[in-house]
Chain A
Amino acid sequence: SYVLTQPPSVSVAPGKTATIPCGGNNIGGKTVHWYQQKPGQAPVLVTYYESIESDRPSGIPERFSGSNSGNTATLTISRVEAGDEADYHCQVWDSNSDHVFGGGTKLTVL
């Protein structure tokens, strides 16, 4: 089955750029979606792929973007705010494994 690997935690200072990686075998050939989950809340979709470009649902700031190449997909959050502190989960759909999630990364804003 397909496996996605995320670091347990990432820290960033306010106003800086956070990059959260998601590793998978040839993940650059797949479409990766990202979810934000704040403590005690349900996940929220923050980026998804439309055709070949990363896009965001309405209401999600432009500061959130996704990219994907080789064996690593990346969620980039620019100008990080205290309110961005949350767990972030990557997800792919694979024809053999159906839906697969990474283990999640806790983003800490210092």
Chain B
Amino acid sequence: EVQLLESGGGLLQPGGSLRLSCVASGFRFSDDPMSWVRQAPGKGLEWVSAIGGRDANTHYADSVKGRFTISRDNSKNTLYLQINNLRVEDTALYYCARNQYSTTWYFASWGHGTLVTVSS
């Protein structure tokens, strides 16, 4: 069974930094691209960033380029998201998701999310 367990969220002030983690199990982690998707309170889903499996190529939404850094440690089956210069609009539930490919990429499995709240 695929499991994704996020951690690292909390209440932070604008301008602060934090690192989110996602520990994966139940599949060959190093083979699959992974993503972070966030959901602001009462809003829809917003893709934030993705990273390749073995090649570790990274992609970012325009809204977070330059402030967010995605990375992975395949030896620890762990995905990370470093968030710098936090803004109030970064307040959201952050989901870790496993990407799979059929005709195009989709999000096959999701964690339960970790909540990031940015407020002064």
A-B contact count (CB 8 A): 68
> DSSP majority for the A interface?
strand
Q: How far is the CA of A44 from the CA of B106 in the complex (A)?
A: 11
Contact B44 A51 (CB under 8 A): no
Q: How far is the CA of A50 from the CA of B47 in the complex (A)?
A: 22
Q: Determine if A42 is an interface residue (Cβ-Cβ < 8 Å).
A: yes
User: Total interface residues on B, using CB and 8 Å?
Assistant: 24
Q: Determine if B75 is an interface residue (Cβ-Cβ < 8 Å).
A: no
Q: How far is the CA of A10 from the CA of B19 in the complex (A)?
A: 38
Q: Determine if A49 is an interface residue (Cβ-Cβ < 8 Å).
A: yes
Contact A104 B104 (CB under 8 A): no
Q: How far is the CA of A88 from the CA of B114 in the complex (A)?
A: 21
Nearest chain A residue, comparing its CB with the CB of B97: A43
Residue in A31, A52, A55 whose CB lies within 8 Å of B104: A31
Q: Determine if A100 is an interface residue (Cβ-Cβ < 8 Å).
A: yes
Q: Give every chain B residue within 8 A of A30 (Cβ-Cβ).
A: 104
A32-59 vs B: 1/0 string, CB under 8 Å?
A: 0101000001111100111110010100
Q: How far is the CA of A35 from the CA of B110 in the complex (A)?
A: 11
Given A43-B95, A100-B47, is A93 in contact with B102 using a C-beta cutoff of 8 Å?
no
Contact A43 B106 (CB under 8 A): no
Residue in A41, A48, A91, A101 whose CB lies within 8 Å of B102: A48
Contact B103 A99 (CB under 8 A): no
Contact A49 B103 (CB under 8 A): yes
Nearest chain B residue, comparing its CB with the CB of A89: B45
B13-50 vs A: 1/0 string, CB under 8 Å?
A: 00000000000000000000001010000011111001
Contact A98 B103 (CB under 8 A): no
* Nearest CB of B to A9, in Å: 13
> Which residues does A use to contact B, with CB under 8 Å?
1, 30-31, 33, 35, 41-45, 48-52, 55, 57, 89, 91-93, 98-104
> Which residues does B use to contact A, with CB under 8 Å?
35, 37, 43-47, 50, 59, 61-62, 95, 102-113
